[in-house]
Amino acid sequence: MMTDQLFLYGVYSIHVRPLALQGARWDAEYEIRHNEKTVQKWLTVGGDAGYDDEATAVDFAHRQAVIDIEHGAGIPKPRAFP
């Protein structure tokens, strides 16, 4: 069984953990952090069908986290003007 995985992407760390489903299927969840502060809470990938193996689920979660970062996850939003 795979353990939690840590991937670095620029100033962000991506934490990924596999989730076992019934019938030898897998999901994974990921969280994005900056300086150990969570900037995107745990999200699950895989859905009802899941993936064939742990490695595929972890890889997909890692790639989805990178996409999230590239689309602005973790970037502080400007405060609204009163």
With respect to residue 30, please indicate whether it lies within any of the assigned structural domains.
yes
With respect to residue 4, please indicate whether it lies within any of the assigned structural domains.
yes
Instruction: Please provide the average confidence, as pLDDT, over all residues in the chain.
Output: 88
With respect to residue 59, please indicate whether it lies within any of the assigned structural domains.
no
With respect to residue 60, please indicate whether it lies within any of the assigned structural domains.
no
Number of domains in the chain: 1
Domain ranges, residue 13: 1-34+46-51
With respect to residue 12, please indicate whether it lies within any of the assigned structural domains.
yes
What 3-state DSSP class applies to 7? strand
With respect to residue 74, please indicate whether it lies within any of the assigned structural domains.
no
Contact 31, 40 (CB under 8 A): yes
Say how far apart CA 36 and CA 2 lie, in whole Å: 22
Q: Is the pTM of this model over 0.75?
A: yes
Strand ranges (DSSP E) for the chain?
A: 5-9, 12-20, 26-34, 37-45
With respect to residue 68, please indicate whether it lies within any of the assigned structural domains.
no
What 3-state DSSP class applies to 32? strand
Average pLDDT over every residue of 67-78 = 77
With respect to residue 69, please indicate whether it lies within any of the assigned structural domains.
no
Average pLDDT over every residue of 26-31 = 97
* pLDDT bucket at 68, cuts 50 / 70 / 90: very high
Q: Is the pLDDT of residue 43 over 90?
A: yes
* pLDDT bucket at 49, cuts 50 / 70 / 90: confident
pLDDT at 3: 80
